[in-house]
Every structure is written in C-alpha cells, then in structure tokens.
Structure 1
Amino acid sequence: MELPGRLYCVLLGLIALVSRAMPTPVPPLSTVKPTVSPQQGLKYLQKFGYLSTGTSQAGGLQAQGNLNKAIRQFQRFAHINITGELDEATLEMMTKERCGVPDIVGTANSARKRRYAIQGSRWRKHDLTYRISAYTQDLPAFEVESAVEKAFQVWAKHTPLTFTRIYWGRPDLDVKFSVGEHGDGNPFDGAGGELAHAFFPQYGGDAHFDDGETWTVRTPGGTDLFIVAAHEFGHSLGLGHSDVRGSLMAPFYQGYTPAFTLPPDDVEGIQNLYGVADIDRPSPHPRPRPPSNDVDVPDYDARGTVDPTTCSGHLDAITRTKNGSTYAFAGEFFWRLNDIGPDPGYPMRIHDIWGVVGPIDAALFWPSTGKTYLIKGERYWRFTNAVLDEGYPASMERFRGVPTNVDAAFEWGRNGKTYFIKGNQYWRYSKGWGVDDGYPQPLSVWTGLPDRIDAAFQWKNGKTYFFQGGRYWRFDDDNLRVAESDPQYPRSTAEWWLGCPIQHEPDWVGSQDGQAPGTDSTDQPADGAEDQRVNGLTGGSGASRASWRAGLTSLCVLLSLWLSRTIQNTH
C-alpha cells in the first residue's frame, strides 16, 4: 500500500521522536566466531582458484592429493600453519573479509617467478579515465570522490600513469557501488565476506564495491574505502593477488592504515607492467631480490608457454556452463579458459568430452536454466555443465523459426532475449515461443560489427563479445554499438583470450571507433529496430517513483531531525 506523502513524513517524525525518548539498547557481547563448514571450505577453494570445479566430487588418491595441495596453497597465501587439512584455523581464515577476485589465476602447478603477481594484461596507454557511476549512501559524495582519487594516486605516484575523472561518456574504468546481483555474474554477499571485485585490463578494468558494507574514511570503524579501492585498482591495472605479508595486493582486508605508503612488493609489480615515474627511477645497480621458494604458487606471467596450436585465434564457438567455466571451440578441439588463457591439459578433442564430433557451428548458454547448448547443422545437444542431458541430440526445429547451420548464438544481457546469427542476418528468439515477428534483421543493426560473425557469447561480466577470423569485439549495450576502448576493438583473440604471446602490434589497433577495417561507421539500425532491440526492458516509471520516494525520505529525515533537536532544546 502506498502511503500519502504527508502521512509518510508524519510517521517518520513520530518514529524519530519515540526513538529519542527510548534508551538505546547495548548489544550483547558475543564470543562466537563465524565459521564455515568443510563443504563450504571446498567451495571457497574452488571460487578463489585453488581447486578446479568438480574436484570435490571426484574420488581416488589423486583427487585427495589435489585437495591437499590446494589447501596448502591457501594456507601459504593466508600465512597460517601449513597442514594440508581443512582444520579450524583454515576454516576460520575463510571467514575473513577479502577481495572477490580469485587468488590463483591460470596454471596451478607452475612456480611463480616473482612474489608480486602479474595477471597477464595491461593498458597500452598511460592516460586513463574513470567515472563513478553509482555512489554509496554511507558517505557524502565528495568523500567518495576524494577516496577514489587518492586510491588512484597510490599507483600514479610510482608509474607514468595518469587518472582523469570524467562525468559522462564511456570511461576506461567504471567505478560503482552495488548490492547483490549487479549484472556481472558475480553477486555481492552483503556485509562481511567479499568487499569488492575488479576486472583486469583485458576485461575492461571496472571496479565494483559491495554497498552492503558500511563504507568509511579515516576511521578504524566500518570498511575503509580508500584501502579497498587502492587494492581493487591494482587489479584494474593488471596485478593479481600477492602472497607477501603486508602487500596491498594481498587478498585479505587490512583495515584502515594511517599514513599509508605502497609497499615495495606492489611498487615492483606495477613498475614491471608500466615502468617507473621520473622521480622513481632507481640507481644503475638496483638491489637484487632473493629467490622465492614458493613452488606451488602459479606463475601469472607465463604466457609464452601456450600450445602453439592454440594461437591461430580462430574460434567456431565460445560459451559458458552452469558451474562458471568458459569453453572455446575450434575445429575438433576445445579449451577451458581461465582469466588469462587455457587451463593446463588443453586443448582436448570435443568428441572425447562432449560426445559431439567437431567442428560445431555455435554454442549457447542460458543462465536462467543453467543449460548449455552445442549446435551443429540441423541438431543440437543440451548439457548441464559438460554432462549431456537425457534425450539429446534433438532437432533444431524445436527452436521454432530459427534456421539450421547457424554461425553464432547468444543471450543478450540487455533484454534476456536469445539471438541467432547466420550470414549477414540475425534472428531474435523468445524462449518457449519462437522467433519474434519482424525477423530476420540485417546484422548491420549491431553498429560496428563485421558483416559476418563466427562466435558470440555473454561473459561473466555481463558484456557481450563477438568473434570473427581471429579477432573479437565487445559490444556497448548502453550505446548500442561496438565499445570504445584503448586498445580499440577489434582485438586479437589469441592474445587476449587464449593467452598467446604478443608477436607484433596488430594493424587493426589503430582503426577508428573500435570497428573492423572497411566497416561503415554510418550504419544505422533499420526502422523500428531500436524498439525491438530494447523490447523487454523495464520502463522508466519504476525508477522515477523510486527516485521520488528517495527524495521524499531524505526530506522527511531532515524534518524529523529538526523536530527532535527542537524538542531537546526546550528541556
């Protein structure tokens, strides 16, 4: 039931007066420590990269050995007693506030060459822009802006990097506060636990902060925004987590730190990526670093060890599965991808694992059902993770109105609709219904894409990617065109997705507006296509009503505080 505006204010005023008259209860002290169960501990190890998905269900001595090794790696990162067991100290450590980015990215059995961790991608320019697109209500806007700027300067001080805030348009780095599911496939968990996460440069560099926390500045209470932001921006610039005690890039929250200075481990890591600032240049004989004996921690900089058959960059299909894995398909082979390239042991033959003879035409993942589809010719196979569902393969006729021999398929995050591409046309499909009226449409509606597509999918960050002939494009769902970024799109699939070494600077890096060479930048959607592309989105009335209520609430709170203080002054 909607309350009239006046009654709404009166009720808030009465609540304020009553709360002033009643004593504030003192919360009881508790000695109970938060813990996690062993099963939750296994999920924790999987989530943060120590253990591959499915290990906990596997049997045998090898699986147990992998589990013990994963636990030891976590214990080393956490600087607790290394037992290889999920003991009380280990489970308790898993309750600590931390960053949501995985600790282990890539090969889990190679020796790391440095204590600082380089994820594998970096920005190719030094002048970066950022925008704060959503604020927390815990702090005044100017405090948020000041803390964010100060956090960027932590990294700028030791490198040639500059960070400029913009107020509209697409920045290099988007900073926002959100709660729960917020569109990138990594929902926040509320107070405690994961405080924030960020994407590495190859995935856009955006940084998201859990607004379920109580954000503070310059005080030991709450969660210090500056120190968390400085850590997340390290990820945005290409640094992974460090296992050095006291490092800013260590995964666990360190709390408010007066007079913070960037530790040497982090300085060396960021300068390895971007070089040093003029005032930071060392003497000709820098101090040598002692070798590391941590042979179980992965090498984040081992991009030159990729199987050469991987590096053609051409993909027939790419998709996700219910357990969060990403799979890329080319010819008779497929790869499982992590954030910097293929997992160890890949490529494998498609038929050996999926039961389908390669090559395939397309792949599709529906997040709402957790089902993954491989499509070839007139048939498709449906999977839960990589396990074939009973009753498949089935005829493509079940996708009413969709042609056979499609080139690509994906669900678009903007409207939840499914799109099939064949040649220079695309079909929009509604689940349980069929192809929508008015389709097919020309592919040129998707401004900036080439006239043919080999593969497409929505990744875990909620963004849509298109692949063609060894190159890929990221689509800007807000502006309905290929995203603007530096380096521009298209980019090399082999380098950015398959972890292949950089052989040379591609010719297409300098193309304008992120388009493929020869693509007409004046292409516009067909008549009525704009309405079709946003069909299914929520209208503006709900947002307007929420904004009105938020403003009214703020006004009423101020009125309540004034009434309360007036009554207090009369006593």
Structure 2
Amino acid sequence: MKYLIIFVLLCLPVCLAYPLDKTMKKDSNLNFAQKYLENYYNFGIEMKNFVRRNDGSPVVNQIQEMQRFLGLKVTGKLDSATLEVMHKPRCGVPDVGHFTTFPGSPKWRKTHLTYRIVNYTMDMSKYATDSAIVRALKLWEEVTPLTFSRIYEGEADIMISFAVRDHKDFYPFDGPGFSLAHAYPPGPGINGDIHFDDDEQWTEDYLGTNLYLVAAHEVGHSLGLFHSNNPDALMYSLYKEPTDLTHFHLSQDDVNSIQSLYGPPPSFSDITMVPTEPIPPKSKKPDMCDPELSFDAVSTLRGETLFFKDRYFWRKIRLDQKPQIVLISAFWPSLPSELDAAYEVNSKDTVFVFKGNQFWATKGSKMEAGYPRSIHTLGFPPTVKKIDAAFSDKENSKTYFFVGKKYWRFDENSQSMDKGFPRLITENFPGVVPKIDAVFQEFGFFYFFSGSSQFEFDPNAKMVTQKLKTNSWLGC
C-alpha cells in the first residue's frame, strides 16, 4: 500500500470569507469541520449526522483526538481555537495513528541514496532551487549514516519534480493555494519520489512558499517518517512560516524519529572516542576566539565542518553547537599536521587532505589504501609545489584548487583537469583577496578565508556579499 504525503493549504479563501467570530454561520463551521475530520481523522460517513445533531460521542471523541494530536486544549467542542487551527496550512495525510514512522517502518536498505532533479520551477533560479534541495537533504544527512549524491540522468532513489494539476500519479494537484507538494515513503519505483505543485509561488526567502522548508519536510517522508504531534518538529502536520532560515535545524523529536530507523551518523560515535586520546603537554592549543586566528584548511565531513589549525581541528556538527577541538593525530594517526588544504567529495564519501606535494584520502576516520599520492597525478604542472586551498562544488562535481593568484578546476567525473585553466582568481571570484588560506561551500555560498578575514561569495551573483572574521563559525 502506498502512502502519499501532501502539503495542503487549506481553503484560505474560506478563512477570509468566514472570519472566526460569532458572525460565522454555524452550517459553514459544521461543513468545514466535517470535511476536515473526514480527511485527517478517519471520520466515516455513518458519523456525519452526529455532527449535525451534536448529540453523539463519536464526533466528540474524534475532535478530542484531533485536539490532542495538534496540542490544543482538549474540549471535544468546535471552539474558535480549534477552528482556527483547522484552517492552517498542513500536510494532507491523516493524523490518526500517533506514530512517527509509516506503518511497518519502511526504510531504505542502504545508506547512500541518489537523487535527481527532473525539472525546475520558473519562480526561482536553478541554482537557488538546487541549493534548497541540497540543504533539505543535508538536514537529515547530518544526523544519520545516510549520504546523498545527485545524478543527472536515469532513475534515482528520490526523483524530484515540479508539476501542475494531473501529473500521472493519480494524485493531481489543485492549483494555487491548496496542495503544496507530495512524497512517497522508501521503496522502488515511484516510492521515495517528491513532487512539488508548480502552481504555488516558490521562494527561497520569507515570501510565498519556502521551498527549502517544504522540501525538508517531504524528504523526511521519503526517508520513512510519518507525522509528529510535536509542534516544534519539522514533521509536525501544520506548515509553519519560516523565522530563521540560516540557523534552522531539526528538532530533537525529528532526530529521535529518524535515528529510530537508521541510527546516528558513524562520525558521532567517533566523537566519544576522541577525548580518550591525551593531548601532549607541550602542544599549545590555538585559541578559537583569537581575533587574529587564521585557518590552515577547512572541509566538511558527513555533515560536520572541520576547521584545521596547526596540530588541531575544531569539529562543528551544528551551527548552534559549541565546537570541539581535536588533535589531528588522534583522529587520523597517519596524517601530518599543519595541513595546506582539505575538501570533501560527497558522492564518494571521501575527504582529501593536502600537504606539500602529497595528498591523502579518508572515509570517516579511516585512511584509504594507496595514499599518499603526488598532487601531480591530478594534472598539476611541475611548477606547482603545494595547494593553498580547495573545495568541491556539490552542484556540478567540480573541484577548485587555489594556488597563489590562480586556480585550477578538476572534473570529478572524468578525473581530469578542465581545459582553459589555470585562471586568475579575480577573474571569476571578484572581490576575493588572494592569497587564500582555506575555502568551503555551505548554504549555497563559497566561504574564502584569508588571514583573519573571510569573504562570503555568492556564485550566482558572482560577488562578495559580506566580509566576516575568520572565527565567526566558531561562535566568536
């Protein structure tokens, strides 16, 4: 049996035409409540007369069930607070059941999933759309062993598309202002897929319907989650207007639910082991709030961000979490200190680390065999002795290497340098000051570090959007 997940914007014109006060017609209230209970609380046809007569416990019980699930005062009556919540935007799947996963707990039987964006909405740029989807996936990737990589043709585990009205899955959309999107739980074929109603006004900010938040909710369904009755959870039934998109993260309820299916990310278990490694007494730890702090390298790792300095690195798992400082040798015993560059290739679940004319490959805390290798095996000319900084663009499978005032671009698919390089950094990254110490990609921006300064660069607008202190990521 397939379970379809639909975000529904419930009858906004009705809300406007019939304000929630004494002037609202009683029949309108009853008709609306009856339809609501039918859609979301398994209210059978045989119970409809109880609503009209208002003399039966079955409807009282179901109103109480709804109030209980949505966190309302349990009265069993269609009071104004209950009617107001009934008119709010919400997911169209029923709320009955009180479980956080689908019946039978379907889940993916693998930890690496592919996704494909089949087409685009005209409301947003392709880059903004791609970024919203990547950020939605990353929310779940950060707290599970799951990883996601994009493919550009063929059948992916999660097929993502925009459509209007009838789009041949037997669940047609209904125009602007109603059903926002729907998704299917894990499985073959159409299962796992996500469809967005292109009659909506999709946006990357606070106007219209925020694609990132809707996509994040739908990804939860694609991974096997049902609804939560916790109003703070992303998987709560009702769609909530975004408040702080930059620092948005999953609630503990969402984390507990998804980890009940897949467990925590492997790197989390590494954290408990790291403190057992003593730090040598002669090793001076860098001060993360030193106003002159600079980084040797920055890389992501399975949803974390690593900031390297001398013999150490700080691990940042979430934006709101205090970073941990760790010895490089405690995490990767065979790696050198004072690194030159590091970057993650998500599709390979691999972090590449550079020092001098050599580089290493790691998966989690494990070193890959066959390394270190010479940087010249990547296609660099003999004149290049070391790499200053590097990052891999998750959107186009290109890795950028920065050396002095120039940069090279490497194709991860063909495993070769792109033609026409090197180029001047100022040519394609105006406003970014060479020499670059470190760089990484986050939230659709490139963050370049040079000494105690960092530059937030918007690749879509091709401009620096703000200049910050290097250690702002560490909460300083």
TM (norm. structure 1) is: 0.40
Structure with bigger strand share is 2
